Amino acid sequence: MITNIRKEKNSSFFRLNILLLCLLVICSFCTLIVGDTPFELIWQDVLLRIQGQSPSTWNPLLDERIPRLIVILSTGASLAVAGAVMQSLFHNPLASPNVLGITCGGSLIVVIVFIMEWHLEYPFAIPLAAFIGCLSTLVFVYSFSRTEGSVNINALIITGIAVSSLLLSFQGAIMYAFRDNWILIQTLTEWEAGSTVDRDWKHVHMQLPLTLIGLYGCWHYRSEIDIIALGGEEATNLGVEVDKVRWRLFLCVALLTGGALASVGTIAFFGLVLPHLVRYIQGPTNHWLIPLCILIGSVSFAFMDLILRTLEIRALSTGTISAILGGLFFLILMRRSQYSYSEGVK
């Protein structure tokens, strides 16, 4: 009986994976195809470049669409995985880079980099600042809410929200002080809106090393995440070095969030909603949650970008559309869970 259930689950999981892979291929293909230049022309130039005969040093496919696709896939995967890991680590469905203030921490330091114009001379200053901001905020929130060796989950969320508000107010104060420098304000607004316009290899280089390490780390510790989710004491009894694993996962989350923040900007709700969706489909175990989050995150982000690009909706950025859809989805999810809870009480 148990074997049958497991087989059925494996088979449905396999089908889901295939479906997601197909969607990923379709979205990626469309991202590479859709653009102002006819694809035949681009392809001819690619062939010429391979032969070393291309008159041009820039090709829309090689130099814009492919790097943009890499940035999109990396960002979607990073945020979804970061959210999933945090929700498991803190045993709380509300834990996500946004809710715990990690994004705000990274964002504040990046704003300072923009103001000092360090990014013009050193482009890696943005991902470095984002990583440092994310990590320091995460460590602060975690340490602040930890009492007598254990973390009170409610305290963690409240601390996260408080730190988030504090950092946002610092950022608001800085922006207010520079309100007359409207070019800076415009630059920051564009960055904060979470845009994928004109993403090139520079953004790939800014993000990809952080994303690769972050994703590998989360994948590597997927079993430990499952065990830690049972509780710190149980995990220690089962031989997991809880503090070490937790610290490394913090680093991974900071790398993932920082990388995404640096190359695309602020993308709200992604890290909160997608892990819920994946758990709803697949169940709570992290063994497959992380690869599924990578797939679903990449597909959803690529799909949103494709829709905005194809319909030429210029008033919205990927960040804003993600926040709108994510917020609505989360409200629906909350409503449904309240409904089933009240039915259960009856």
Partner 1 sequence: MLNSQLKTLSVYVFLIFFISAWWTFAFQKKVTSDENSFSPRFFSQSKHHSLQIEPAITHIDRNLLQQALSGDTRLMARLIADWDIDAQILSSNGFQDVSRLNPSDFLRSQSLIRLLQNQDYAKNATSILKQQNQHVVDDTGNYLNLKPIYKKFLPQTYVAASFLLSLIPPEHIVALPRSLRDQTQLYPLSLTEQIPLDIDRYNAEKLFQAGTDLAFVAHYSHPATIQALSNQGVLLYTMKNIQSLEDISHELIATGHITGRPLQAELLKIFIDAAMCAMDNHQAALVGQLKKNHTQLPRILVVNFHQTFSVPTIQTLAGQIISRMPLLNASLQLASDNNQANEWVIPLGKERLLNMDPEILVITTTNPDAAAKRICSDKSLRDLSAVRNQRLIFVDEAVQQSPSQYILLAYHDLIQALKFQP
Between CA 185 and CA 244 the distance in angstroms is 41
CA distance 250 to 254: 6
The answer to whether residues 88 and 286 touch, using CB atoms and an 8 Å cutoff, is yes
Cβ distance 195 to 59 under 8 Å? no
Closer residue to partner 1, CB minimum distance, 13 or 124: 124
Q: Which contiguous run of DSSP H or E holds residue 146?
A: strand 146-147
**The tokens of 96 are what?**
């996500």
| Binding string, residues 195-224; x marks residues near partner 1 by CB under 8 A | --xx-xxx--x--xxx--x-----------
Residue partners of 151: CB distance under 8 A and separation at least 6: 90, 142, 145
Q: Does the protein bind partner 1 through residue 43 (CB under 8 A)?
A: no
Q: At closest approach, how far in Å is the CB of 94 from partner 1?
A: 30
40 binds partner 1 (CB under 8 A): no
The verdict on 30 binding partner 1 (CB under 8 A) reads no
CB of 309 to partner 1, least distance (A): 9
* 29 or 247: CB nearest partner 1: 247
Residues binding partner 1: what is the number (CB under 8 A)? 31
Nearest approach in angstroms of CB 5 to partner 1 is: 39
Would you count residue 56 as binding partner 1 (CB under 8 A)?
Answer: yes
Identified binder of partner 1 from the candidate list 20, 28, 31, 64, rule CB under 8 A: 64
Give the span between the Cα atoms of 309 and 300, in whole angstroms: 14
Q: How many CA atoms lie within 13 A of 25 on its CB side?
A: 5
Interface positions with partner 1 (CB under 8 A)? 35-37, 56-58, 60, 63-64, 120, 122-124, 180, 183, 186-187, 190-191, 197-198, 200-202, 205, 208-210, 213, 244, 314
